[in-house]
Structure 1
Amino acid sequence: YGVIGGAGVGIMYGAPIATSAKWFPDRGGLAIGLTVGGFGLSALITAPIIKQLIGTVGPLNTFLYLGIAFLIVLLILSIPYKFPPEGWKPSGFVAKTSSASPLVSVELDRNEMIKTGSFWALWFTYTIGCLAGLMAIGISAPAGKEVGLTAEIAALAVSLYAIFNFVGRPIFGALTDKIKPKAAAVLSFLIIGTASLLIYGVREKIVFVIGFCLLWLNLGGWLAIAPTATKIFYGTKFYGKNYGLVFTAYGAGAIAGVLLSGQIKDITGSYFSVFPIVAGLCLLGIVIALIGLKPVKRA
C-alpha cells in the first residue's frame, strides 16, 4: 500500500500544479498555492468519512471502497485537464523580466536545471523546511501530552492545524511571487525557528497550540514556495519534470525528520529537545537561502 499508493500520489501530485503554473503565469504563486491547498484541506473531508467507514465495515473493506471511489472521482476530474496552447498568455499579460521583478523569463529543462546553483539551494532549503516542520509536527501528539493538553483540546487543535496548513499554501505562494523566493524562504524559516523556540521555552498550552499552528502554516507554505520558485527560476515549459525532481526534497525531509525526532527523544528523554534543533536547522536554511536562492541569469 505504501509503495503503490505513494507512487500514485507522487505521479498525480504534479499534474494539477503543472496545469496551474501554465494557465496562470500572472498569478502563478497564488494559483499553485490554492491548488496544493486542496491537498492539505482534504483531510478535513476524508478523515471523518474514513473513520466512520472503519467503524462500520472494517479497515480492509474501507480500503476497497476508497479505492473504487477515488478511481471513479479522479477519472471524472481528469477529463477537463489540459495545458493551454503553446505560447498562450492571458489577455494583457506581459512577462516581467527586469532585475527588480521576481519573474524571470527563462526555460530550462531538467538537465540544465540541475547544473544551476539555485536548484541545489532550492532543494536543500526545501528539504530543511520540510525536515524542520515535520520533525516538530511529527511529535505534536506526544509533546502535547507533555505540556498537559487534554484529549478534547488536542482533537480541536488537529482541525485547527489542518486549516493553518491549508492557509499557508496560498499565502506563501502569493508572497513568493511578490517578494521573491529568497525572501519568502527566509521569512518562513524565521517563523518556524521563532515558533520552535517559543514552544521549547514557554511550555504553556496556549503557546504550544499557537506555535504548532505557525509550524503547520509554514509546512504548508513550503509546499507552495518550492513549486512557485521552480516556475520562477526555470519557467513552465518543462515544469512537470523539473518540479518532480525538486519535490524529492519533500520525501528526503519527511524521512529524515521522522527518524531524527525519534532518535532525539530516545537520547534526551523528552520530545521538547527537538525544538532547539529545529531552530538551528532554520538558521542553516536562512544561510543557504541568502546565498543560493537567486534567479538564473541568461547566458
Structure 2
Amino acid sequence: MSIHLSIGQAYAWSVFKPPLESSMNLSGKGSALPFQLAIVMLGLSAAFGGTLVERKGPRWAMFVSMACFSSGFLISALGMALSQYWLVVFGYGFVGGIGLGIGYISPVSTLVKWFPDRPGMATGIAIMGFGGGALIASPWSTQMLSSFGTDKGGIAETFLVHGIVYAVFMSFGALLVRVPAPDWLPAGWDPRQVAEKPLVTNANVSARNALRTPQFWCLWVVLCLNVTAGIGILEKAAPMITDFFAHTSAPVSASAAAGFVALLSLSNMLGRLGWSAFSDVIGRKNIYRFYLGAGALIYLIIALTQNAGKPVFIICAVVILSFYGAGFSTIPAYLKDLFGSYQVGAIHGRLLTAWSVAGVAGPLIIDGIADAQKNAGKTGPALYTESIYIMIGLLVIGFIANELVRPVHTKHHETPMEAPEQAPASAGKGE
C-alpha cells in the first residue's frame, strides 16, 4: 500500500496542468506530455523489468521504484527552477515512469505467495492504493500550490516536497516487505482443493513460455479493451458530465463536475478491492464476463437514455469506473490461476503493455470524436454517442477474448528443477 498510494499520484497530474500551462506558455497537449510518457514508460519498464523484479525480490524492486519516482520529482523541480520544461518531461515522464512500472508490479508475486487462497483479495488491496493515490495527492498538491504559488518557483517547490515526502513514505514499504518461506501455506488450506477449480493450476509457467500461449494474448486483449473503455471516461469526466447536461434546466457547475471526478476516483479505488475479492468466490473468468458484459450493457443504457437525467448517468459512470479499476486488480490473480506463482510478477509486467496501448487509445477515441462532432456543430450528449457505441464494440470483443481462455497446455509447464520455489535472499527472511 505504501508503494501504490505513492505512485498513484499519477492520476492527480491534472492538478499541475493549469499552472504549468500558464507559467510555461504550454498548450493542453504539452502539459499532458509528462503524464502520457509516464504511462508509456510504466508499461515498458514493467515489461522489461518484470523478470529482474522476480529475480531480485520485492525489496530491491521497491527501492528502485522509490529512487526513480522520487528522483523524477526532483529533476522536475530543477527543470521548473531553470525554466527547462524538457527536464520536467524527462524527470516525471521518463525517470518517474520507470518508478511507476517497477513499483506497480513489485508487490504482486509477493502478495499471491502470502495469500495463495485469496489472490484476488490480496492484489486488490495493494492495487486499490494506486486508484486511491489521487484522493491523497490531489488535495495535497492543490494546497501546496496554493501555499507556494503557481508560478515557476512555486511549482518547483511543490515538486521538491513531493520528491522528498514520497521517498520517505515509499521507504516504509521497502523496509517492511517480506516473502514467505518456500514451504509456507495458510493454516488449514490445501492447494489440491484449489487446483480442482476450473482454470486454476498448481503447475508453473515461465514468463518466456507464457508469451507463447494463446491465454496470455487473450488476457492482453481483455485488459487492453477493458481499460480503453474506462480510461476515456476517467480522462474526460468533468467536461463530459458538463456537456451532457449543458442544455438542461439544471446544468452542471464546475464544482459539481469536480465532485463527480472525485466520486469516480472513489469508485475506481473501491472497485479494485471489492470486485477483485469477489472473484475469489466466483472465479476469474466469470468476473471478467461480468466486467465486460455488464459494462457493454451499461454503456448501451447511457446511449439510449441520454435524457434520463443526472442520477442514471452518474450511476452508470460509477459502475463502469468500478469495473475499470477492478480489471487492473483482478488480472494478476487471473495470471496466477493460469500460469502459477513462479514468475507471475514478470508475466504481469509484460501484460501491462496493454495499459500503455489503452492509455493512448481511450482518450484518443473520446477526445478525437468529441472534437470532430463539435466541429460538425453538434452539442450535448451527441458529442459522445459515437464514442459510446465504439466502447460497446470493444467490450464485446473483450468478452469474446475472455471466452476463449482455456487451461494452459502442459507442454508449457516448468519441471520442479526449472521452477524452484526459493525466495530471493535479498527480500528478507520468511515469517
TM over 0.5: yes
Bigger drift between 108-117 and 129-138 goes to: 129-138
Report the Cα distance in structure 1 between the residues aligned to 2:221 and 2:170, rounded to whole angstroms: 32
Higher relative contact order (CA closer than 8 Å, sequence separation 6+)? 1
The equivalent residue for 1:70 is: 166
The equivalent residue for 1:84 is: 180
Q: Contact (CA 8 Å) 2:109, 2:343: kept in 1 or not?
A: no
The equivalent residue for 1:161 is: 264
Q: Deviations over 1:29-49 (max 9, x none)?
A: 111111111111121122111
Q: Deviations over 1:68-94 (max 9, x none)?
A: 111111113210112112232112221
Q: Contact (CA 8 Å) 1:142, 1:271: kept in 2 or not?
A: no
Q: CA deviation at 1:273?
A: 2.5
Report the Cα distance in structure 2 between the residues aligned to 1:175 and 1:72, rounded to whole angstroms: 34
Q: Contact (CA 8 Å) 1:135, 1:274: kept in 2 or not?
A: no
- Which of 285, 288, 292 aligns to 2:398? It is 285
Task: Give 1:165's aligned amino acid.
Answer: N
Q: Contact (CA 8 Å) 1:182, 1:294: kept in 2 or not?
A: no
- Which of 175, 189, 202 aligns to 2:278? It is 175
Task: Give 1:59's aligned amino acid.
Answer: I
The equivalent residue for 1:14 is: 105
The equivalent residue for 1:296 is: 408
The equivalent residue for 1:94 is: 190
Report the Cα distance in structure 1 between the residues aligned to 2:320 and 2:96, rounded to whole angstroms: 26
Q: CA deviation at 1:150?
A: 2.0
Q: Contact (CA 8 Å) 1:226, 1:246: kept in 2 or not?
A: no
Q: CA deviation at 1:180?
A: 2.5
The equivalent residue for 2:138 is: 47
Report the Cα distance in structure 1 between the residues aligned to 2:122 and 2:101, rounded to whole angstroms: 19
Q: Deviations over 1:255-283 (max 9, x none)?
A: 11122222222333313431111111111
Q: Contact (CA 8 Å) 1:264, 1:273: kept in 2 or not?
A: yes
Q: Contact (CA 8 Å) 2:225, 2:395: kept in 1 or not?
A: yes
Question: Normalization by structure 2: what TM-score?
Answer: 0.66
The equivalent residue for 1:152 is: 255
User: Number of residues paired by the alignment?
Assistant: 298
The equivalent residue for 2:212 is: 115
The equivalent residue for 1:243 is: 348
Q: Deviations over 1:138-182 (max 9, x none)?
A: 222221111222223222222221221112112222233332222
Q: Deviations over 1:231-268 (max 9, x none)?
A: 11111121221111112211211111122222222333
Verify: 1:199 aligned to 2:302, yes or no.
yes
Q: CA deviation at 1:17?
A: 2.1
Q: Contact (CA 8 Å) 1:137, 1:215: kept in 2 or not?
A: no
Report the Cα distance in structure 2 between the residues aligned to 1:158 and 1:84, rounded to whole angstroms: 39
Bigger drift between 51-60 and 146-155 goes to: 146-155
Task: Compare CA radii of gyration and give the structure with the larger one.
Answer: 2
Q: CA-atom RMSD, angstroms?
A: 1.6
Report the Cα distance in structure 1 between the residues aligned to 2:292 and 2:237, rounded to whole angstroms: 19
Q: CA deviation at 1:194?
A: 2.0
> What secondary structure sits across from 1:171 in the alignment?
helix
Task: From the superposition, tell whether residues 154 and 266 of structure 1 become closer, same or farther in structure 2 (CA, over 3 Å).
Answer: closer
Question: Normalization by structure 1: what TM-score?
Answer: 0.94
Task: Give 2:312's aligned amino acid.
Answer: V
- Which of 352, 361, 367 aligns to 1:256? It is 361
Q: CA deviation at 1:295?
A: 2.6
Q: Mind listing any 5+ residue stretches in structure 1 that lack a counterpart? A: none
Task: From the superposition, tell whether residues 175 and 295 of structure 1 become closer, same or farther in structure 2 (CA, over 3 Å).
Answer: farther
Q: Deviations over 1:118-157 (max 9, x none)?
A: 1000011100000111123322222111122222322222
Bigger drift between 220-229 and 150-159 goes to: 150-159
Q: CA deviation at 1:102?
A: 4.6
- Which of 323, 330, 334 aligns to 1:218? It is 323
Q: CA deviation at 1:59?
A: 1.6
Bigger drift between 169-178 and 104-113 goes to: 169-178
Identity %: 28
Report the Cα distance in structure 2 between the residues aligned to 1:143 and 1:162, rounded to whole angstroms: 15
Runs of 4+ displaced beyond 6 Å = none
The equivalent residue for 2:128 is: 37
- Which of 267, 276, 287 aligns to 1:184? It is 287
Q: Contact (CA 8 Å) 1:261, 1:274: kept in 2 or not?
A: yes
The equivalent residue for 1:3 is: 94
Q: Mind listing any 5+ residue stretches in structure 2 that lack a counterpart? A: 1-91, 149-153, 246-251, 375-382, 412-431
> What secondary structure sits across from 2:127 in the alignment?
helix
